[in-house]
Amino acid sequence: MKKPTHAGDAPQPALLPSRTVLIGMTAVVLGGVVGLLSFAGGVSEPLSVVAGLGAAGTVFVALHHLME
């Protein structure tokens, strides 16, 4: 059961801003795509993971600077 809210109650802030979630999800998806494509291209599994993580980090930083 919900507690009644009072007119003076401030809404709770979000845990993460939607901008951060959007950038993070995009970075994870694109990093995964790069990792899968590099693995499909014949690169070993550990190097594919490194390629995907590098791409995800690059996308995260680039989108952060782009959306400022």
Residue 53 lies in a domain: yes
Residue 23 lies in a domain: no
- For residue 50, how many other CB atoms are within 10 A of its CB? 14
Residue 48 lies in a domain: yes
Residue 10 lies in a domain: no
Residue 16 lies in a domain: no
Please answer whether residues 33 and 51 qualify as being in contact, where contact means their C-beta atoms are separated by less than 8 angstroms: no
For 3-62, the pLDDT digits (tens) are 666 766 777 888 888 999 999 999 999 999 999 999 999 999 999 999 999 999 999 999
Total-model pTM = 0.77
Residue 59 lies in a domain: yes
Residue 2 lies in a domain: no
Distance CA 53, CA 11 (A): 36
Domain count, the chain: 1
Q: Which 3 state secondary structure label does DSSP give 5?
A: coil
Domain that holds residue 60: 28-66
Tokens of 2: 């919900």
Over the Cα atoms of the chain, what is R_g?
19
